[in-house]
Chain A
Amino acid sequence: MKRNFWDLLLFIVKRVAVMLLLVIGVTFITFFFSHIMAPDPARLWAGRRANAARIQEIISLYHLNQPYYVQYWYYLKGIFTGNFGVDPSTGAPILPQILSRFPATLELVLASVVIMVVVGIPLGAIAASRNGKATDHVIRAFYLSGWATPSFLGALVLVLVFTYYLNILPPYGIISPFVTQPPAITGMPILDSLLTGNVPAFLSTVQHLILPATSLAFLNFGIATRMTRASMLEVFPLDYVKTARSKGLSEYAVVYKHALRNALISTVTVLALLTGSLLSGDVVVEEIFGWPGIGSYAFNAVQTENFPEIIAVTVVFSIGVIIANLIADILYAVLDPKVEWG
């Protein structure tokens, strides 16, 4: 069995190489739709209100009058050197804007992953241990409801209940403007206020985080629940679970110590697969809650038909998904003793 340090290193190097290939593939697909399929690429990249002179400028800036392979070369070079083009309305480069909004999005997505894990996995374990009984049906109805709720509807209902009826949580923003703002250390206000020991700011960020993170998690936790349930039902008939039962261990110990621990390995992978769906939902949730991250940036870009920004967000989010999958692959290989490295 190949499981020493060098095999693991080789495994990681191989995965990173595959990851780079995937990133190049993503750039090719976005290039295909933005340069080849689009009816009028120059107008798309120049913006709707551009005049003829501006369009000529854009054509030479993005080399749009060259053959496709030359265009693609410049496009690829731009992305790998961090040049995603310029904002058609202001002429400002795009990448710095996305980077400055990145920590806010990371804070929101990580918070919703935490909620998904804390709520979704135990629910799946309970459903599996009560397979076919009323509890199982109720949990299934609950996670299907989450799955079936349009992201904008879920967010609107949460705002309706917690802001307008109960008036306990703020509907908008990442931190109250009335507290001392924490300095930008990580860029995530919740961590920054914690690091500087700014208690009022920290409480404010937590309050602001609850509704958006819950809406984002609610839409996706069903898959974590379903996966946990399915993989636990798979291990229940296995010998080691039967042995645990026949040893006279309590049902609690059998389900949560023996079965769940094994089921978790495949759930880790599924959580990574959810990144794409989380980032899709992020666009809607950020817009509704006025969250200052990449999602609301993408929403504004669509409203103003700011095409270079849309393409930049597409590429950046895809890279996010690819990195999440890479991390899950590596975690899976480390956690599951049956996987060979190398």
Chain B
Amino acid sequence: MNGTLSTQRESISKSVSGAKNLAISTWRILRSSPLSLLGFGLVMLYVVVAILVLVAGKFVLPYNPLQLNAGRPLSPPSFSHLFGTDNLGRDIFSRVLAATPLDLGIGLAVSTLAMVIGGTIGLVSGFQGGIVDSVLMRITDIFLSIPSLILAMAISVALGPSIMHSVEALSVVWWASYARLARGQTLGVKNQLYVVAARASGTKEHIILGRHVLRNIFDTLFIYMTMDIGTVILTFSTLSFLGVGIQPPTPEWGSMVINANYYISTQPWIPLIPGFAIFFSVFAFSLIGDVLRDILDPKTRKSML
């Protein structure tokens, strides 16, 4: 019985393509934890909504998100206004949906920029060692000791409020933790036997750096970046709370909460619904990071199968 099972499994793994194999292992990992499944579903939902709004906004959104008096102001959730309306009579459902591409986009842009900048600095620092390493890591330490929100706030005020400036300000404070992470990972990889063997066989240093070191640390950086998208959205919305992020009337989750916080006791859905949009995005991206780790790390994948 056991023997037939294992031969069956072998023949299955031989016959199905690599992509299908990945899909199967992904499904097994998702099935093993209800939280991971929830995270995966939520991220898919956010991404699909963002793409739909971006591509076919007019057809997806029931109302124009900027239109005043789309319904009676401050009306509670109903069939015509799923999430109710705000104090200016704008449809909250349309506004929450319309904000998705912006918030997700900023999360993605800042964490990608931070990964590229910080990853490069950490990679060079760990690979070179010596004085280069010391200098780069002391600079990283300095950035890590400034509270990120406070520095982003100061930079946003200095540059003036705009979406691009918020992205710049957040990227400036965000790269340092990636540099730390990439350096640690590089140090772990650079003395592995396969690197030593590549060097002994005459491979050039920049090829070792790219082909052997970068490729091995990339997964870790990528997982960290995925988990980070939510954190960026969180900080960005806090910048809006402070009044240095997005300017009204552009719909953005954070500023929708702030502009409505007077209604928390009387019409709580107005600040709470966009607040939960932020909450679930951060929650989902943290969970999906764990899923990705299980999928990308061959060690855990083997034990799952």
Contact = CB atoms under 8 A, between A and B. Distances in A.
Contacts of B149: 280-281, 283
Interface stretch (A24-32, A114-122, A203-211): A24-32
Given A37-B159, A148-B230, 18 more contacts: A22-B145, A29-B142, A33-B155, A34-B158, A37-B158, A39-B159, A137-B34, A137-B35, A141-B35, A144-B283, A148-B286, A152-B258, A153-B275, A156-B275, A283-B242, A314-B150, A317-B150, A322-B145
Given A33-B154, A33-B158, A152-B238, A321 B147 contact: yes
A160 interface: yes
B105 interface: no
A160 B278 contact: no
Contact of A39 (B141, B160, B237, B242): B160
A238 B139 CA distance: 37
B33 A151 contact: no
Interface string A4-42: 000000000000000001100110111001100111000
A303 B257 contact: no
Contacts of A131: none
Interface string B258-283: 10010011001001100110111111
A307 B257 contact: no
Contacts of A26: 142, 145-146
B143 interface: yes
A216 interface: no
A29 B230 contact: no
Interface residues of B, number: 52
Range, interface on chain A: 35 or more
A125 to B, nearest CB: 20
Given A144-B283, A150-B279, A283-B150, A160 B268 contact: yes
A26 B143 CA distance: 7
A79 B254 CA distance: 34
B145 A280 contact: no
Contacts of B76: none
Interface string B226-267: 000010001101100111100000000010011001001100
Contact of B147 (A25, A147, A280): A280
6 contacts: A25-B142, A26-B146, A141-B35, A152-B241, A317-B147, A318-B145
A123 interface: no
Interface of B: 33-35, 138-139, 141-151, 153-155, 157-160, 172, 230, 234-235, 237-238, 241-244, 254, 257-258, 261, 264-265, 268, 271-272, 275-276, 278-283, 286-287
A96 to B, nearest CB: 20
A302 B142 contact: no
Q: Which 5 A-B pairs have the closest CB atoms?
A: A25-B142, A280-B149, A148-B282, A153-B275, A148-B283
What does DSSP make chain A's interface, helix, strand, loop or mixed? helix
What does DSSP make chain B's interface, helix, strand, loop or mixed? helix
B148 A22 contact: no
Contacts of B235: 280
Contact of B139 (A25, A34, A160, A311): A25
Nearest to B279: A148
Interface centre among A33, A39, A313, A321 (most CB of B within 10 A): A33
Given A39-B159, A144-B287, A150 B237 contact: yes
A80 interface: no
A42 to B, nearest CB: 13
B269 to A, nearest CB: 12
A302 B272 CA distance: 24
Given A26-B145, A29-B146, A318-B145, A150 B278 contact: yes
B2 to A, nearest CB: 26
Interface of A: 21-22, 25-26, 28-30, 33-34, 37-39, 44, 137, 140-141, 144-145, 147-153, 156-157, 159-160, 164, 275-277, 279-281, 283-284, 288, 298-299, 302-303, 305, 307, 310-311, 313-314, 317-318, 321-322, 325
Given A25-B138, A152-B258, A314 B154 contact: yes
Nearest to B286: A144
B146 A311 contact: no
B154 A311 contact: yes
B283 A318 contact: no
A308 to B, nearest CB: 11
A338 to B, nearest CB: 19
Contacts of B144: 276
B265 A164 contact: yes
Interface centre among A26, A44, A153, A302 (most CB of B within 10 A): A153
